[in-house]
Amino acid sequence: MIAILGATGSIGTQALDIVSRYPDRFRAVCLTAHSSSEKLFDLVRKFRPDCAALNVEPDHIPEDVKFCQWFFGEDSTVRALLASKAQDALCAIVGIAGLDAVWAALDVCERVLLANKEALVTGGALVTAKARAKKIPLLPVDSEHSAIFQCLQARQGNPVKRLLLTASGGALRDWTKEAMYDATVRDVLKHPTWNMGGKITVDCASMANKGLEIMEAHHLFDMPAEKIDVVIHPQSVVHSMIEFTDGAVLAQLGMPDMRGPIGYAMGFPERLPYDATPVDFYKLGHLDFAAPDYDRFPCLKMAIDALKAGGSMPVVFNGANEQAVGAFLRERIPFGRIPEVVAHALGAVPQTEIKSIADVYAADRAARADAENTLRRLSC
């Protein structure tokens, strides 16, 4: 019995594809979305969950989806999850908006399958402490973290020296700094190797995504920022690597297809047979690797510095970035202004301690308010 939170999104729909391939193994008992009511109605018709939720209440509910229990409003995801009695929760809401759902899933579910990286970026120490205290596995869905998690299965108690997160470099990987500044929404959404939701695709182009993933890896694998490196790897075949103290490096490879890591988390510890495109080394011929360019991708550097600074700084980074990405997607600011908005918030919002979820939201509000001020200044 699995709840798919963020069912209408890129991760949610691919998870449901896996559910439909294994009807004897999975039943989707709870499906949630923000406002995509027609999409959610279709999914409810197909998967027949017990509970469904929409933050934005639609004008009408079609008769043929009324068989399930509906929840509407701001906290509808959490209420639907609690009512569904799901054993597993796949948390695939985008942004800090998914933090409450992750928190609630840790109260009522047996396993939490985590795609929503922003929940760890912002509430990481609290979320991992709660998962540890309640002995609830947090299974990574993000491909890099799934790769590391898979490599760690071969660890046999040995210490890990370094984590190596691979990065495609996003849609603007080979653009000059000047050209990047005025990249359009269309340019930025053309990701070279993955097909994902809008927010994460913009984050890939600015490499803020890799910064968020360093924070995610820090919390999931209890590794300091200094022991997490980023490697640009345009083909997205090596999904990430771990290095041991004897210099040995383990990598997990596969063609880019999120159903790999989603299925691994859903089936864990079993691997679900799946007709994935095999890695054809003869056809690939070579795999390329390079160092990241912090000058063209300042968001990556700012994220690393925010993690090293600690306290509320990762929350500030995330809140300002979410605000700036939203503004870019609505064409309020050029792409090149995203790092400026984030840098301003990191410089202006006072660092605080994060001891509770309320502290997370307070830091997030402060970051968004500062970002909104910068955006107003920049977009007029």
Residues that bind ligand NDP (CB under 6 A): 6-12, 33-36, 55, 77, 92-94, 97, 115-118, 142, 194, 196-200, 258
* Percent of the chain as helix, strand, coil, to the nearest 5: 50, 15, 35
In angstroms, give the least distance from the CB of 257 to ligand NDP: 10
* C-alpha of 137 from chain center: 17
Residue 203 binds Mg ion (CB under 5 A): no
Comparing C-alpha atoms, which of 358, 327, 357, 330 is closest to residue 345? 327
Cα–Cα distance, 130 to 104 (Å, whole number): 11
Q: Which is nearer to Mg ion, 29 or 204 (CB)?
A: 204
Residue 142 binds Mg ion (CB under 5 A): yes
Strand ranges in 106-235 using DSSP code E only, listed in sequence order: 111-114, 138-140, 160-167, 228-232
Q: Which residues pair with 163 in a beta bridge?
A: 228, 242
Q: Which residues pair with 253 in a beta bridge?
A: 238
Per CB under 5 A, contacts with Mg ion among 144-183 are 144
Q: Which is nearer to ligand NDP, 115 or 344 (CB)?
A: 115
In angstroms, give the least distance from the CB of 13 to Mg ion: 17
SS3 state of residue 268: coil
- Give the interface segment with Mg ion, choosing from 134-142, 226-234, 243-251, 314-322 (CB under 5 A): 134-142
Comparing C-alpha atoms, which of 179, 178, 207, 176 is closest to residue 191? 207
In angstroms, give the least distance from the CB of 299 to ligand NDP: 14
In angstroms, give the least distance from the CB of 94 to ligand NDP: 4
Q: Which is nearer to ligand NDP, 200 or 307 (CB)?
A: 200
Cα–Cα distance, 235 to 193 (Å, whole number): 7
Q: Which is nearer to ligand NDP, 32 or 374 (CB)?
A: 32
Q: Which is nearer to ligand NDP, 10 or 323 (CB)?
A: 10
Cα–Cα distance, 248 to 274 (Å, whole number): 29
Residue 118 binds Mg ion (CB under 5 A): no
Q: Which residue's structure tokens are 């939701």?
A: 197
In angstroms, give the least distance from the CB of 369 to ligand NDP: 18
Please count the other Cβ atoms lying within 10 Å of the Cβ belonging to residue 120.
Answer: 29
Residues 6+ apart with CB under 8 A from 67: 48
In angstroms, give the least distance from the CB of 22 to ligand NDP: 20
In angstroms, give the least distance from the CB of 209 to Mg ion: 7
In angstroms, give the least distance from the CB of 203 to ligand NDP: 7
Q: Which is nearer to Mg ion, 77 or 116 (CB)?
A: 116
Q: Which is nearer to ligand NDP, 10 or 206 (CB)?
A: 10
Comparing C-alpha atoms, which of 49, 40, 46 is closest to residue 67? 49
Partner interacting with residue 97 (select from Mg ion, ligand NDP, none; CB below 5-8 Å by kind): ligand NDP
Q: Which is nearer to ligand NDP, 41 or 344 (CB)?
A: 41
**Please, are residues 6 and 102 in contact by the beta-carbon 8 Å criterion?**
no
- Give the interface segment with Mg ion, choosing from 24-32, 139-147, 189-197, 231-239 (CB under 5 A): 139-147
Cα–Cα distance, 315 to 327 (Å, whole number): 18
- Which residues are at the interface with Mg ion (CB under 5 A)? 142-144
